[in-house]
Structures are given as C-alpha cells and as structure tokens.
Structure 1
Amino acid sequence: MTTIKDVAKLSGVSMSTVSRVMNAPESVRADKREKVEKAIRELRYYPNALARGLISKRTETLGVLIPDVSNPYVSEVIRGMEDAAHSLGSNLILCNTDRNQERMINYLKVLKEKQVDGIIYTSEPFTADFHKLFEEFNMPVVLASTQSIEYEIPSVKINDEKAGYDAGMYLIRKGHYKIGMISGPIEDPIAGYTRYSGFKKAMSEILPMETIDAWIEFGSYRYEDGYEAMKRLYKKQPEVTAVFVASDEMALGAISYLHQIGISVPEEVSVLGFDNTKIAKMCIPKLTTIGQPMYDIGQKAVFKLEALLNSEELDELRSYLDHTIVERDSVKELSRKLYSNW
C-alpha cells in the first residue's frame, strides 16, 4: 500500500511538505506543490482521514444521530446536511439510533473511535442524561429539529408552538370552527406538546379553553396512528369539519379512515398536515400542510457545527427558521365564516 513516505521520496520533499500540500496547498511553493501533486497521481495515493488529521487536527467527518432513518422528514434534513458537508469538504456518518439509548451510546463510542470532528443530534428531546453522555465523550454537538432550553447547545429548528397556532388560525380563517386535532405525544416537548399548545391557543380565540381537549386525539406521527386517532375523533365529534394533524404521515392515515367510512376530503372534512414531506404531493387529494424548511434545517446545522469547530462566534445560539402554509387540495374554505373580520 502506498504511503505518504513513498510520495515524499518520489517528489524529493519531506513528509510534512506532502501533508501541507494535502491540507493547506497555498502554504507550499508552486514548484514543490507541483512535484508532490505529480507524485500523488503517479502513485495513486489516497490519504485516509486519520492521516490527514495528524496535521489538520480534523478528520473532515461528522457524525449524525438519527432516531428513525425511514422517516420521510429525516431524509430531507439529511440531504441538506450532506450538501452542506460536501461544500465544506466533509463527510457524514449516519447512525440510526431507533430511539434506543443503549444503541446511541454504542454509536457514540464508534464515532469517538472514528475521531469524528463533531456530532449533529436530530429530532429527539435532548435530556439531562444525553447531555451528560456528550460531556463524557467530549465532542462538539449541534441539535437539528430539536433544542435544549436547559443547556447552552446550538440548535436549528422551527418554532413549533407558533406553527401549531398558525395551523389553527388558518382553519379558522377558512370558516371552520368545529376543528379537531390529531397531536403527537403530549410528553414529547419538541413537536408534541408545542404544536398541541399552539393549536389550543388558536382555538381559545373561538372556544372556551376547557372544551378544546374534547376535540383532540393523540398519536406517534405514523400512518397507523393517524388512522386510529381519526377513528376515535370522528366517533366522538362527528360534526367536525376540519382536522389539523401533527405530521403528514398521520394526515394520510386520517384521510384513509375518512375515505373508508365514506367521508369526502375536503368536501365534508378538511385535513391540514404538518412537515410538507414528499408524500404530501403524492396523495389524493394533495395535502395542504404546514411546511418546514427541512433541507435548510440540515444545511444550517452543519454550517453551525463548522463554525463551532473553527472557534467562530455564532450569530445566535438557537436558530428558528420560518415555517409556511403550503396550500393544495385537502382544505376547503367554508362559505359562511364565523367572524366577518377573519
């Protein structure tokens, strides 16, 4: 196997000069740089990350901890991360934790052995136990699609409570007032409780606060959860005219149940999703949804981690990107509005 020593010998320079050519070529005289580059081509030398790291103190690899790699939301976030990492000359190591702490600890050990430069932790709540683990492993970390209020850790996400509020107000402005919600788990502080809380705040504009929970069911963001939650909601509130669902995948489950019992969407019941994943455009009717800038979240998380690694001062510790309402076909505007000024 060709080594850096072979390249140095063929080009007639020291090994440190070869390393500088690979890591900081502008610091090497043009004539020496050309000799080294020619030797690298002739010997077909491909330096490994650890060897480069001896000089640069970087392996140009980033670890990404993902709770569920099959989630369509996650795949778009990862695409933003990969493009950002590629633009910086870095690579990603993706680790699917399956929301299992023991598995995550094992991945952290592997990432430490691989000498990754830093870690991006996605989607799950960042608990005190997790914070202790990251301190023990002593690796820079940025949070993507999650955040920590307790600890000073950089993060990138949307304001989920504001998004839940805007979802409720959107349906109200469309003339609905018999509005239900299929929420994520209320014990999930990142996307569950926050979207639920924002929706309740919007509904309090038209309903007594104590009556709102009767219009809310819960699930774990999956298609099956949406189907079952819609069944429960419709059985207790058959007069519902619109439903806000806390993920696109659950929204498809809700639509499926309504179709099964002969309820037309959006003619009889409107459905509003959340995320704007690719599946939102693939269903019938196409799903109106609260859009998250998934690609931008992933991209900004990588750039924020790069700034940390370069000891640069961050513009902001916790970044909140804008959400949007993506209008398609699953929400109908009622002709009679509850309030004329809406």
Structure 2
Amino acid sequence: MVSISEIAKKAGVAKSTVSRVLNHHPHVSDETRQKIMAIITELDYMPNQLARDLSRGKTQKIGVVIPHTRHPYFTQLINGLLDAAKTTDYQLVMMPSDYNQEIELSYLNQLKMEAIDALIFTSRAISLDIIETYAKYGRIVVCEKLQKSNLLSSAYLDRHFSFIEAFSEMKARDLENLVLLFSRNDETSATYQSALVAYQDVYGQLSTPYTVFGNIHDFNDGLKLSYQLIKDDSIDGILATSDEVAAGLIKGYEESGKTCPYIVGQEGLLVGQLLKLPTIDHKSYDLGKLAFKQALSDIISQEVLFSEYLPQDS
C-alpha cells in the first residue's frame, strides 16, 4: 500500500503538504498541487478511511435503527433520510432491529465505540432510560414524542387529529362495528396509542365494539386477513394499516363476492389514490428529512409534523 511518505518523497515536499492537498487545504500552490495529484494518480493512492476518521474525530456516518421495511411508513421514512443525506458528506448506516432489544443495544454500543457519529431510532423496543445513558457518546434522535428529556432529540408525528377526522367520518356514516389494524399491536406504538385514543374520543370508550389485529404490514397480509373478516357480516368499517393493506382487503372481498366494508387507508400511497380510498398521510418522508437534520444539529430539540386525513373526494 502506498503511503503519504512515499508520495512526499517522490514529490520532494513535506508530508504535511501532501496532507493539505488530500484535505483540499487552500494554502498550496497550484503547481505543487498538480504535481502531487499527478503522483497520487500514478501510484494509485487511496487514503486510509479509518485513519482519516480518527484524525478528524468523526466517521461521517449516521446509524439508522429500523425494525423492518415491510411497511411503507418505514420505506418512505428511509427515502426522506436518503434524500437529506445526499446534500451532505454523511453516509447512512442501516441497522435492522426487528424490535430486538439486544440488537438495539449493540447499535447503541457502536455509538459508544465511535463507529458512528449519531444514531436515529425510527422505532424501538428498548427503553428510553437505557437510550438516554448513551446520549453522552453522540447525538441520538428518536421518532416519537418525549414527555421530558434534556438528552435526546425527537422528530415525531402528531397523528391524533387525523385519526379524529377519520373516525368522525366513519361515525357520520353510521359505521358501528369497526376493525382496527396495526403494524405493531403494542401499547408502546405511537400509532396504536393515537388511534385508540382518537377512537374513544369519537365513539366513546364502551358504546361501540371494535376488533384489533396486529402484525398487518402489506397487501398479502390484507388479503389473508380478508378471508377471516368476510365470515363476519356485521363488520362495516376498517381502519387499514396502509393503503396497500386496504388494497389486499378489497381484493379478498371482491373474490368472495361479498360487499367490502368502508375502509380508511394510511400513508397516502399511489394505490390508495387509484382506488379512491380515504387515507391518512403520516408525512413519513418529511419525518425522515427532519430526523436527519436533527442528527446533525448541536441543539437538542423536539420537532413535530402533523398527519393529514385525506377524505375520499379529495
């Protein structure tokens, strides 16, 4: 492997001069710069990335903890992160977790060991208390509302009012037996919490029955679930996990020959527009861009985006 010393010796300059050229330092004459660059090309020199990271105290890498990409919320969020990163010198390191706490802890330890400069939790299973103990090692951003924290930044969605509008529309249509679908049927899920609170605000806590299903992510999940739902003729409204899930449900009902219940999708996808579905746009692409900005910021902050209900006739 060619070293800076070899380049300096062949160019007849000091190692510091070669270093300045490699780091685009302005205080080098054009003649010297061109001479050194010609030698670098001739010797096919490649800088040692680890050494460069150590010398400047940064890796220029940001870790993104992502549970999975089976749901469009996460794929759109990743797209926002990627587009934000394109305008910088930072690289994104995707860290799949599948909501495994041990795996999430290993990613926090990568921050501690300075393998990455910052860490973004798009969703999590590990406790906030544990996450906060690692904040001293680098910026940590979580994609959820924090009750109180002076250590973590958060970029989060306020889903409540969009769910209120969706359930109000369903109630106005006299829908009384609802099915609520979730990607993660868990009280720690922000979507789960927001949807149930909004449902109770509109329908009341005990007045109207509803059924909850979890682990519903994509078209095929919706299609498979439809085979179960068509057995219950009393179901008249469904809050789908996404527009893709809604499309799977519609397909299943069409195949059965039964009338499909009124369905509200989520994520504002093209398939929903084509099917003219009412949907909730959770702005996950914009959330990704916002989370990336916070990962680079020296200021700890909480910033919020608002989901938007898009009725059928919009």
**How big is the shift at 1:273?**
1.0
The gaps in structure 2 that reach 5 residues or longer are none
The answer to whether the 8 Å contact 2:267/2:280 transfers is yes
Secondary structure at the aligned position of 2:264 is classed as: strand
Cα 1:54–1:17 shift into 2, 3 Å: farther
From the superposition, tell whether residues 36 and 112 of structure 1 become closer, same or farther in structure 2 (CA, over 3 Å): farther
SS for the counterpart of 1:104 is helix
Q: Kindly provide the CA deviation profile for residues 214-259 of structure 1, in whole angstroms up to 9, marking residues without a partner as x.
A: 134232333476567667777667162x322243354344334433
Equivalent position amino acid for 2:117 in 1: D
Assess, with a 3 A threshold, how the Cα gap between structure 1 residues 216 and 332 changes in structure 2: closer, same or farther: farther
Give yes or no for the alignment of 1:210 onto 2:206: yes
Q: Aligned-pair distance for 1:30?
A: 4.3
Distance in structure 1 (CA, Å) of the matches to 2:140 and 2:287: 15
- Return 124-133 or 162-171, whichever deviates more: 124-133
**2:292 matched to 1:319?**
no
- Contact 2:58–2:117, Cα closer than 8 Å, also in 1: yes
**Per-residue deviation at 1:20?**
3.9
- The partner residue of 2:234 within 220, 238, 251 is 238
Equivalent residue number for residue 265 of structure 2: 273
Letter in structure 2 aligned against 1:149: Q
After superposition, give the CA deviation of every residue in 1:67-89 in whole Å (9 maximum; x if it has no partner): 11343322222122122222111
Letter in 2 for 1:6: E
Q: Post-superposition shift, 1:59? A: 1.5
The verdict on how the C-alpha distance between 1:105 and 1:131 changes in structure 2, with shifts beyond 3 A counting, is closer
Amino acid at match of 2:285: Y
Find the aligned partners of 2:54 and 2:35 in 1 and give their Cα distance: 22
In the TM superposition, what whole-angstrom CA distance separates every residue of 1:175-201 from its partner, at most 9, and x where no partner exists? Answer: 512152414325134111112212332
Distance 1:291 1:117, change over 3 A: same
Q: Is 1:304 the counterpart of 2:288 in the alignment?
A: no
Alignment partners' CA distance in 2, 1:36 and 1:296: 44
> What percent identity do the matched residue pairs reach?
26
Q: Aligned in 2, Cα 1:20/1:290: closer, same or farther, shift over 3 Å? A: farther
TM-superposed CA distance for 1:305, in Å, is 0.9
Written as runs of structure 1 = structure 2, the 5 A alignment for 1:189-228 is 189-201=189-201, 203-204=202-203, 208-212=204-208, 214-223=209-218, 226=222
Q: What's the offset of the Cα at 1:165?
A: 1.6
Shift of 1:12: 4.0
How far, CA to CA, are the matches of 1:30 and 1:123 in structure 2? Answer: 50
The two structures have a TM-score, normalised by structure 2, of: 0.81
**Structure 1 residue 159 displacement after superposition:** 0.6
Q: Distance in 2 between matches of 1:10 and 1:94?
A: 41
- Give, in whole Å, the separation in 1 of the partners of 2:83 and 2:249: 34
Q: 1:66 to 1:59 in 2, by over 3 A?
A: same
| 1:176 partner amino acid | R
> Paired residues, what number?
308
Structure 2 vs 1, CA of residues 69 and 16 (structure 1 numbering), >3 Å: closer, same or farther? farther
Q: Which runs of 5+ in 1 are unaligned?
A: 334-342
Residues 15-50 of structure 1: CA distance to partner in whole angstroms, max 9, x if unpaired? Answer: 344444444x35433435444444433333332432
Who is 2:285 aligned against? 295
